[in-house]
Structure formats: C-alpha cells, structure tokens
Structure 1
C-alpha cells in the first residue's frame, strides 16, 4: 500500500523532515568563508550538488537561523564573493558536528573544530588542511527560490589528498569514505556496489 501526502497540507517542520529523510544520502559540504574583518567561519551544509561541469559549478542551499536571520556563511559570501567546499571523511565527523552550532560572528570556527586553516590558492577563505578534498569557489549567483537561499559558485581550484586520488585523476570512494546525511543522522559511506553504469 502506498501512502500519499500533499506537502501543502503538512506543517513546515513535517515537510522539512519528510524531504530530509527522502533525499538521501546528501553530501556534506563543509563550507569555509571569511568575514571582511578576517574571522574564519566553517559550517556544514547537506544541500549541495553539482550544477554544471562546463564551467564547473556547484550549489549550496542555506537555510536561515531559527530566528530568521541569515547565517554567517551567507553574510560572508555576499561580502567577499568566495568560499571553499571541503569534503570530509569519517574521521572528521566530530569536528564537523562541532561547527554546526550557532556561534557569535567573531568566533573562529576552525578553532572550534580543532582543524588547521590552510591558505587557498585563489580565494580569500581558508581551506581545511585535514579535508581529503577542497574546492575553491567564487560566487556566481545568489537565488531566493523559496524560503531558503541557493548559492552557486564556480570551482576555481581543486585540492585532493593523494590517498584518495590516483595518477589518472580518479577519486577512490572507498579511500575517501565520505560522510553523508541520512535524514537527521550521518553515515560514513564505505559500502560500495560493483555496478557499472
């Protein structure tokens, strides 16, 4: 038997919960930005995907804080026009969760997470030295299609730890062991199916 629901008949929280539990797994974009005064911000977002390969672009969707205020990530993006998406492996999950809280704007969230800031090549925001993949991005568009804000950035530089990429540029998901979001839970993706598509 199928259960069918009309999203318009659901509360906002029920609708959000239903979407989060249905669209899985969602990659964690551990996003670093820098404020105009140089404060480092680091926050995880699970609404992330590729939107173009030529030019290479990706999107982040940012919800607002509980009080309706914009998150520091979005404020920094508007002000500086750049960000870094760090892809984390399972060993960084605790550090990532530590940055999911709400902190005052002057708090360095790299310090909160206990990770190492590493200067990016072409953008102002630092990347996470411990992250196996980091993508330096420049802001292309900020869209407001509904309650949340969609940010589209062009990937300007890619950084890969040599443990997750081979000499031909192939990324080994087994070595990467990326973290995904399953509803309100997290999972390390380490079980792979050998299906050729």
Structure 2
C-alpha cells in the first residue's frame, strides 16, 4: 500500500500515529491563574543531552480556548511546565486526566492524584509518577495545520521516585507505558541491552 496523506489513506482508521510507535507519554502538569492542569501527550521525546531538553506537540483545540489546549495556554502564561512519566500502574488516572474538562477544573482531583510542589518552578507535579521533569519553556512553534504546536523546554529539575532507582539506574519496577496509536497502549517490560559498535 502507498498513499499520499493529502489524498487520504482509504482505511477505516488513520494509520499515522500507529506507524510511529511506541511513543512515551508526557503527562504534563501546569499552573496558571485558573488553577492546576494535567494532561497526557504522546507526540513527545527527549531531544538533547546538554543541557537536557525535550519537546511535545499539542494537536487539537478546546471550545473554551482560542488556540490549543489548557496546557499550551498555561505554558504561554507562565513559561514553565512539568513532564511526569507514566507506568502501567498509572494507566487509569492518566486516561482520566485526558477528559476534555473545562478550563480551571483540576485533573488532579478528577483522577484522584496527589499534586506535589516542584522545586525550581511554580508548578505542581504528580507525586505518584516514577519521574518528573521540571521544565522552562524555550519556544512554542506553530506547525502546519489548524491547531498544531510544538513546545520545547529545558530541564531545570528532575525528580526520580526512590523505588525506581535500581543499582543506580532508572528502572520503574512495573515497566513503562507507551502509546501505540488508535486506542492502543503497551506495557513495556521486556528490556535488553545492546552495545554500540566501536
């Protein structure tokens, strides 16, 4: 099969985000004058080592926002955000936090999660998360399309839950949760080492 995206794929469901998978989930917490917000994003990746930087994309809108989602609006207002990582044990609250709630309604409350204060930024983080990355936004770039935005940030503080450090390595004991496309997710637990050639 070959298709040009502008012509359509002709399949019952769009294969695009299933082709590029698995993807880690950035569970992004923000705070603004309206309150705390928490939402998952799977167009997400680390993009630099030194200084450590990451990116995520916001790709839809809400009826009560002019552009983008609550996350993007709050980052624009404050210039900071926190990326919380997700394990299989946090699947249900992560999914609950994806509901299209009105701006100002806290997903922490709806999902039954514990907000904890960040150390370097004025923002909450998910206390239950295996790791949380406090970020200062470096840029928001408008992408092709109606509501597509790329947000980059530099890590200014990193939290790792003590039980997720094993022999000095980050290793959540119940594995990693990854987005697969469609309505599919994967619990990643089968990990192996592979050394690069010299």
TM-score, structure 2 normalization: 0.89
Distance 2:165 2:109 in 1: 28
Distance 1:172 1:190 in 2: 10
Q: Alpha carbons of 1:196 and 1:172: their partners in 2 closer, same or farther (altered >3 Å)? A: farther
> Does structure 1 residue 10 correspond to structure 2 residue 22?
no
Secondary structure of the corresponding residue to residue 103 of structure 1: coil
Match of 2:37 among 38, 41, 56: 41
Residues 49-106 of structure 1: per-residue CA shift (max 9 Å, x gap): 1111111110010012266842000000000011000001111100000011101112
> Does structure 1 residue 155 correspond to structure 2 residue 155?
yes
Distance 1:7 1:105 in 2: 33
Residues 113-155 of structure 1: per-residue CA shift (max 9 Å, x gap): 1000000001111000000100000110000121210000010
Identify, as 1 or 2, the structure richer in strand.
Answer: 2
> Does structure 1 residue 95 correspond to structure 2 residue 93?
yes
Distance 1:176 1:151 in 2: 29
> Does structure 1 residue 61 correspond to structure 2 residue 57?
yes
Q: Where does structure 1 lack aligned partners over 5 or more consecutive residues? A: none
Q: Alpha carbons of 1:51 and 1:66: their partners in 2 closer, same or farther (altered >3 Å)? A: same
Q: Specify the alignment match of 1:84 in structure 2.
A: 82
Match of 1:30 among 24, 27, 30: 27
Question: In the TM superposition, what is the alpha-carbon distance from 1:166 to its structure 2 partner?
Answer: 3.6
Question: In the TM superposition, what is the alpha-carbon distance from 1:178 to its structure 2 partner?
Answer: 1.2
Secondary structure of the corresponding residue to residue 105 of structure 2: coil
TM-score, structure 1 normalization: 0.89
CA contact (8 A) 1:84 1:127 kept: yes
Question: In the TM superposition, what is the alpha-carbon distance from 1:172 to its structure 2 partner?
Answer: 2.0
Residues 14-34 of structure 1: per-residue CA shift (max 9 Å, x gap): 7x9222110000101000001
CA RMSD of aligned residues (A): 2.0
> Does structure 1 residue 21 correspond to structure 2 residue 4?
no
Distance 1:69 1:186 in 2: 28
The number of residue pairs the alignment matches comes to: 190
Question: In the TM superposition, what is the alpha-carbon distance from 1:176 to its structure 2 partner?
Answer: 5.2
Match of 1:51 among 36, 47, 52: 47
Question: In the TM superposition, what is the alpha-carbon distance from 1:186 to its structure 2 partner?
Answer: 1.2
Distance 2:195 2:50 in 1: 24
Identify, as 1 or 2, the structure richer in helix.
Answer: 1
Q: Where does structure 2 lack aligned partners over 5 or more consecutive residues? A: none
CA contact (8 A) 2:46 2:54 kept: yes
